[in-house]
Amino acid sequence: MAEPNRIRAKYVIGPDGSPLTVADLPPPATKRWVIRRKAEVVAAVRGGLLSLDEACRRYTLTVDEFLSWQLSIDRHGLAGLRTTRIQQYRPEIGTSSPPPGHAFAASLPSGPSRQ
């Protein structure tokens, strides 16, 4: 439900530093979520161009999905939104460890072996 008395921003500063309006946002039917599009939606919500509910409805996102984009930006910058990097960042976020032999796993210090 829209908030009737909420003042909506006319524009926000986008991830590339340029002004971003509602007209500049990705189309509602977007299926391919590249880094730039995710970052634009996060910037729009943070700047008050869209509410979280509006963004989730418009783009058929779950709140958790949007919040994961926001957290990735906060922790890793725009590169954190790269889907090919998710496994590399997950151990830092606190989820499961990468599989043995994975490039990131090879860089982790090895602890005492359990036998």
- In three-state secondary structure terms, 63 is helix
Q: Say how many residues make up the chain.
A: 115
Average pLDDT over residues 73-97: 69
Question: Does any domain span residue 13?
Answer: no
Report the number of distinct structural domains present in the chain. 1
Global confidence as pTM = 0.69
Question: Does any domain span residue 109?
Answer: no
Question: Does any domain span residue 101?
Answer: no
What's the confidence (pLDDT) of residue 106? 44
What's the confidence (pLDDT) of residue 9? 82
Question: Does any domain span residue 8?
Answer: no
Question: Does any domain span residue 46?
Answer: yes
Percentage of the residues of the chain whose pLDDT score is greater than 70: 67
Decide if 68 contacts 59 (C-beta within 8 A).
no
Question: Does any domain span residue 47?
Answer: yes
Mind listing the pLDDT tens digit for each residue in 29-82? Answer: 999 999 999 999 999 999 999 999 999 999 999 999 999 999 999 999 999 898
Percentage of the residues of the chain whose pLDDT score is greater than 90: 60
The whole domain housing 88 covers: 33-94
Give, in order, the Cα–Cα distances in Å from 84 to each of 2, 27, 28, 35, 104: 35, 23, 24, 11, 13
Q: How far apart are CA 46 and CA 44, in angstroms?
A: 6
CATH number at residue 49: 1.10.10.10
Question: Does any domain span residue 53?
Answer: yes
